[in-house]
């Protein structure tokens, strides 16, 4: 399946997953300490739909924000 929207081009983006240990200062501890930082991906909500393009019908991979905005007419 495609990893990006065929209308707006929205694709996956990367970020970090931060793991913290310790007791918070407001709970009486010495504060949270970062013990691990790993990469993660944020994937868009893509749907495979049959859309009306030009004069015919075509199967497309479209994100839900484009569907909600009405950029695509479903067939």
**Residue 8 resides in a domain:** no
Q: What are phi and psi of 29, to 5 degrees?
A: -95, -165
**Residue 5 resides in a domain:** no
**Residue 17 resides in a domain:** yes
DSSP string, 15-56: EEEEEEES--GGGTSS--EEEEEEEEEE---EEEEEEEETTE
Give 20's strand partners: 34
Q: How many CB atoms lie within 10 A of CB 66?
A: 21
**Residue 19 resides in a domain:** yes
Give the whole-angstrom CA distance, residue 68 versus residue 28: 47
**Residue 12, pLDDT score:** 96
pLDDT digits (tens, 9 = 90+) for 12-51: 999 999 999 999 999 999 999 999 999 999 999 999 999 9
User: Taking 90 as the threshold, does the pLDDT of residue 2 lie above it?
Assistant: no
Mean pLDDT to the nearest integer, 44-60: 94
Domain with 20 in it: 13-69
How sure is the predictor about 4, in pLDDT bands with cuts at 50, 70 and 90?
A: very high
Q: Considering its fold, how many domains does the chain have in total?
A: 1
């Amino acid at each position: 399946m495609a990893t990006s929207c065929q209308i707006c081009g929205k694709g996956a983006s990367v970020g970090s997953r931060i793991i913290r240990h310790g007791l918070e200062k407001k709970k009486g501890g010495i504060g949270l300490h970062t013990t691990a930082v790993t990469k993660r991906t944020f994937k868009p909500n893509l749907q495979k739909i049959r859309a009306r393009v030009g004069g015919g019908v075509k199967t497309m991979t479209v994100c839900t924000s484009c569907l909600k905005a009405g950029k695509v007419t479903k067939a």
